[in-house]
A and B are shown apart, each in its own frame.
Chain A
Amino acid sequence: MATRTIAVDLLARVEGEGALDLTISDGRVASAQLRIFEPPRFFEAFLRGRGYMETPDLVARICGICPIAYQMSAVQAIENAFGVTVGGQLRALRRLIYCGEWIESHALHVVMLHAPDFLGFPDAIRMAGQHGDRVRNALTLKKAGNELMRVLGGREIHPVNVRPGGFYRVPGRAELAPITESLKRARDIAVDLVRWVATFPFPEFERDYEFVALRHPTEYPITEGRLVSSRGIDINIADYESEFEERHVAHSTALHALIKRRGAYLVGPLARYALNFDRLPAPIQALTREAGLGAVCNNPFRSIVVRAIEIVYACEEALRLIVAYEPPASAAVPLAPRAAAGFGCTEAPRGICWHRYDFAADGSIGKARIVPPTSQNQPSIEADLAAMAATVLDQPDEVIRERCERSIRNYDPCISCSAHFFKLSVNRA
Chain B
Amino acid sequence: MSPPADRKVLVLALGNTDRGDDGVGAVVAAKLAGRLPPDVRLATRAGDMLALLEDWAGFDAVVCVDAADPQTAPGRVCRIDLASDELPRGLSAASSHAFGFAEAVALARALGRAPRDIIVYAIEGRCFEPGAPLTAEVAAAANDAAGQVIAEVGRFRAPARTTD
Contact = CB atoms under 8 A, between A and B. Distances in A.
Give chain A's interface secondary structure class: helix
A387 interface: no
A420 B98 contact: no
Contacts of B111: 128, 132, 135-136
A15 B111 CA distance: 23
Contact of A125 (B46, B97, B106): B106
B94 to A, nearest CB: 12
Interface in B65-114: 96-99, 103, 106-107, 110-112
B6 interface: no
A115 to B, nearest CB: 13
A17 interface: yes
Interface of A: 12-17, 64-65, 108, 112-113, 123-126, 128-129, 132, 135-136, 139, 142-143, 146, 156-157, 416, 420-421
Contact of B107 (A12, A128, A142, A143): A128
A129 B98 CA distance: 18
B111 to A, nearest CB: 5
A65 B49 CA distance: 12
A420 B96 contact: yes
Contacts of A112: 50, 98-99
A65 B97 contact: yes
Given A143-B54, A156-B51, A15 B98 contact: yes
Given A64-B48, A143-B54, A156-B48, A416 B96 contact: yes
B119 interface: no
Interface of B: 46-48, 50-51, 53-54, 96-99, 103, 106-107, 110-112
Contacts, number: 52
Given A17-B96, A132-B112, A156-B51, 19 more contacts: A12-B98, A14-B98, A15-B97, A16-B97, A64-B48, A108-B98, A112-B99, A125-B107, A125-B110, A128-B110, A128-B111, A135-B107, A135-B110, A135-B111, A143-B54, A156-B48, A416-B96, A416-B97, A421-B96
A273 B13 CA distance: 42
A419 to B, nearest CB: 12
A11 to B, nearest CB: 11
Given A139-B53, A143-B54, A13 B110 contact: no
A163 to B, nearest CB: 22
11 contacts: A14-B98, A64-B48, A65-B97, A112-B98, A123-B103, A124-B107, A132-B110, A132-B112, A139-B53, A139-B54, A157-B48
B16 to A, nearest CB: 10
A108 B106 CA distance: 16
Given A125-B106, A132-B110, A16 B96 contact: yes
A142 B52 CA distance: 13
Contact of A64 (B47, B53, B103, B106): B47
A129 B96 contact: no
A125 B103 CA distance: 7
A142 B98 contact: no
Contacts of A142: 50
Contacts of B106: 125
